[in-house]
Amino acid sequence: MAQLDFWVSIGSTYSYLTVMRIDRVAHAAGVSVRWRPFNVRTIMIAQDNIPFRDKPVKLAYMWRDIARRAARHGLPARLPAPYPLPQMELANRVALVGMAQGWGPDYVRATYRRWFVDGQPAGESPNLEASLTEVGQDVRAVFELADSRAVGEALEDETAEAQALGVFGAPSFAVGREVFWGDDRLEDALEWAATGRIAPAAG
């Protein structure tokens, strides 16, 4: 089966749209998805790219755009959601532990749902504990792993790999070294994974 790498960073607002639908649309396209948590903030700081700092008009547009796209995909959203996330790194460390243990995608969906529907910031109480409990995990055991040097270094390594690939934002998708950025490029990325190209538009 064709494979798509999904570079996901909890803390990215537009990623809510992708997180909640990627498995369904990928299955329909006959493509398997490998979830790759990384720290997009590290890359953005390195590039001096803080997209919404001191930009209230752009920030307001972002929330309205997400609301429209969420409605299009039938996704509930109470916006604006808390932003930015102070504990973004912890949220992604936990996601990395989950990917290694097989419950990562379920955790990411759960934590995004609590963030975008219930207004609970990801990476903090009560979201973090409730999301881990929902996916059947021992909260204390996961915290100990997520706080370890090994997981911290693993997240740094994943972030460095994403940066070397040319990833500069989230959500991003990669088929080999072919990179697509943004939720609105998900279908293009899946088509590329399945066929090696994007078919010309009809007409």
Sequence spans of domains, the chain: 2-195
Of 13-27, 41-55, 97-111, 181-195, the range with the lowest mean pLDDT is 41-55
Residue 107, CB-side half-sphere exposure with 13 Å CA sphere: 30
The model's pTM is 0.96
Cβ distance 120 to 114 under 8 Å? Answer: yes
At residue 115's C-alpha, the angle toward residues 21 and 150, to 5°, is: 85
Q: For 2-195, which CATH class?
A: alpha beta
pLDDT at residue 47 tops 90: no
pLDDT at residue 181 tops 90: yes
pLDDT at residue 110 tops 80: yes
Proportion of the chain above pLDDT 70, given as a percent: 99
pLDDT at residue 48 tops 90: no
Mean pLDDT score of the chain: 96
pLDDT at residue 129 tops 90: yes
pLDDT at residue 50 tops 80: no
Alpha carbon separation from 155 to 39, 85, 190 (Å, rounded): 7, 17, 25
Question: Where residue 1 falls among pLDDT bands split at 50, 70, 90?
Answer: confident
